[in-house]
């Protein structure tokens, strides 16, 4: 959606850099990068004030 709405701006290095700052996983496949998956999950849980639980 972001790429469609801001097609021209997303071509600039400045916008790509800003997107990576705001969304570290932007453009990355989390299923291929376990370390990034855990970093994103921990950041999200911390932002939401939630605790990580394992299992069900």
Report if residue 27 sits inside a domain: yes
Q: What is the pTM of this model?
A: 0.63
Spell 4-40 as b/e; 16+ CB within 10 A means b.
eeeeeeeeeeeeeeebeeeeebeeeeeeeeeeeeeeb
Report if residue 53 sits inside a domain: no
Per the structure, how many domains does the chain have? Answer: 1
Report if residue 55 sits inside a domain: no
Q: Confidence band (pLDDT; 50, 70, 90) for 53?
A: confident
pLDDT tens digits for range 15-51: 999 999 998 899 899 999 999 999 999 999 999 999 8
Report if residue 15 sits inside a domain: yes
Residue 40 belongs to domain spanning: 2-48
| pLDDT higher than 80, residue 11 | yes
């Amino acid at each position: 959606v972001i790429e469609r709405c801001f097609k021209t701006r997303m071509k600039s290095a400045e916008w790509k850099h800003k997107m990576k700052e705001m969304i570290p996983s932007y453009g990355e496949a989390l299923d291929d990068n376990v370390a990034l998956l855990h970093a994103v999950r921990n950041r999200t849980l911390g932002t939401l004030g939630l605790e990580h639980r394992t299992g069900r």
